[in-house]
A = this chain, B = another copy of it.
Amino acid sequence: MSETGYRETLRGEVIAKAGTLIEMEGLAALQARRIAREAGCAVGTLYNLFGDIDGLVVAVNAETLALLGASIGSAGVVLGTLSLEERLARLAMAYVDFALAHQRRWEAVFEHRLPEGRDAPASYLEDQDRLLGVIEAAIADFVPDANGQRGITARALFGAVHGIVALALDNRLGGRSLTELEQQVRLIVRLAAIGITRDNAVA
């Protein structure tokens, strides 16, 4: 099971090269010939390993999602007895920090669209669920789970923070927008925390 044959080694190297390429020049720089050249293999080998370019992108994105999951996860385990607002703020800022630290890599996850019929690998959904699980755990003390309310709330919170970050990065983060991003995230988190606290008569 832990045998790492030549194939697995090569596969890992290609994913790594592709990852740094995305990190430095964005998703558009991921070209078959270029990867092949930089990874020291033939174009055809990429297709043996990943099926097509989308497969390679998916592999890189899966890695990125795993990294994000690790970041959010470790932010989630230290929430201890903090207030709801503080818990949400920690998680949200972990997300912001990750997005800023791996800007292009992170953009690639949402920028990439796989062709019509194909759907994302199971690991995507698993990572998504793991993320939502962390959020659900963080709000468990404050939101009842009737009718799946807690899940809905977790998704809404994630989407809200995600949207703010996505729009901010889209404007390419010129100058003051970086501090504005942080202000917006802190604001939405505070409002949501207040709203949740004062609204236990959930519709």
A: which residues have CB within 8 A of B?
Answer: 28, 110-111, 113, 115, 152-153, 155-168, 170, 180, 183-185, 187-188, 190-196, 198-199, 203
**Docked pose: A69 CA to B97 CA in angstroms:** 32
CA distance A185 to B158 in the complex (A): 12
Q: Is the CB of A190 within 8 A of B194?
A: no
Shortest C-beta distance, A119 to chain B (Å), equals 8
Separation of A36 and B191 alpha carbons in the complex (Å): 50
State in angstroms the CA–CA spacing of A187 and B196 once bound together: 10
Q: Are the CB atoms of B198 and A194 closer together than 8 Å?
A: yes
Contact A191 B190 (CB under 8 A): no
Contact A190 B184 (CB under 8 A): no
Q: Which of A28, A160, A184, A188 has the most CB of B within 10 A?
A: A160
| Contact assessment for A156 and B187 in the assembled complex, using a CB-CB cutoff below 8 Å | yes
For the complex, give the distance between the alpha carbons of A113 and B166 in Å. Answer: 13
Residues of B within 8 A of A162 (CB): 163, 166-167
Chain B residues, CB < 8 A from A28: 113, 115
Please measure, in the bound complex, the distance between the C-alpha atom of A193 and the C-alpha atom of B203, giving whole angstroms. Answer: 15
* 25 A-B pairs in the complex with CB atoms less than 8 angstroms apart: A111-B111, A152-B187, A153-B187, A155-B167, A156-B184, A156-B185, A156-B187, A156-B188, A158-B167, A159-B164, A159-B165, A159-B184, A160-B160, A160-B161, A163-B166, A188-B192, A190-B195, A191-B191, A191-B192, A191-B195, A191-B196, A191-B199, A193-B195, A194-B195, A194-B199
Closest chain B residue, CB of each to CB of A115? B28
Q: Is the CB of A180 within 8 A of B155?
A: yes
A190 to B188, alpha carbons, bound, how many Å? 12
- Cα A198 to Cα B162 in complex, Å, equals 25
Report the minimal beta-carbon distance from A143 to chain B, rounded to whole angstroms.
10
Task: Judge whether A190 and B199 touch: CB under 8 Å.
Answer: yes
